[in-house]
Structure 1
Amino acid sequence: MPAAPNPVVTLSFEAEVIVWRGPSPYFFAPLPPEAGAEVRRIARAVSYGWGVVPVEAKIAEVVFTTSLFPKPDTYLLPLKDMVRRKADITAGDRVVVELTVKLSPP
């Protein structure tokens, strides 16, 4: 994965892709508890509002930027349609994620 500007923490984990079927379906890779705890440790320093945390992620060979959504016990990595199509993943798939938490823009 290319070096992200202002990297703070780099994590690697495996997760099962989940879907939330609200008005529009959203797909997420939940961070395992230990990875969520590491992000929570630095969240105040990197969040740019509402507790979201800017990251660069890599699944398969697909590199993308997004923000983690906070949940009471972990964070959710949103998977946009473009990412899911390029990486050929859907709900229930297990994915290996490389994640770099970045400092929020000034």
Structure 2
Amino acid sequence: MIAVEWVFDGEIIEWRGPAPFFFVAMSESDSAELKAAARSLIYWGQVPVRAVVGETEFRTALFPREGRYLVPLKDAVRDAEGIGEGDVVTVTLRPGRE
């Protein structure tokens, strides 16, 4: 198990595809550091993590995009925290499948 975590602030962005998705992007340097630390966990480019936004803890998988990882924010997380597109949130990530 990897015993490291990343804490960062980021703006919630909407990525429109067939359906809208909301994400917070990690910095390129944090993304590179996480990729190196979580190498054994990566599958199809994604990294499984336990994430915390506000008081809400959840499991998800980070998506790689243009040299950065994106943290997906499901409706349940955004609703529980009363947050939306354009808001800046603090995200805590701990890689792992637990």
Q: Tell me the TM-score normalised to structure 2 length.
A: 0.91
2:61 is aligned with 1:57? no
Match of 1:94 among 58, 68, 88: 88
Cα distance in 1 for residues equivalent to 2:38 and 2:64: 9
- Contiguous gaps of at least 5 residues in structure 2: none
- Contiguous gaps of at least 5 residues in structure 1: 1-5
Alignment-derived partner of residue 28 in structure 2 = 33
Cα distance in 2 for residues equivalent to 1:88 and 1:20: 19
Indicate if the aligned counterparts of 2:38 and 2:95 stay in contact, CA closer than 8 A. Answer: no
Indicate if the aligned counterparts of 2:10 and 2:90 stay in contact, CA closer than 8 A. Answer: yes
Alignment-derived partner of residue 72 in structure 1 = 66
Cα distance in 2 for residues equivalent to 1:36 and 1:11: 10
Q: 1:8-42 deviations in whole A, cap 9, x for unaligned?
A: 42010000000011111100000112211111213
Q: Following TM superposition, where does structure 1 have runs of at least 4 consecutive aligned residues deviating by more than 3 angstroms?
A: none
Q: Tell me the TM-score normalised to structure 1 length.
A: 0.85
Q: Show the 5 A alignment for 1:2-41.
A: 6-41=1-36
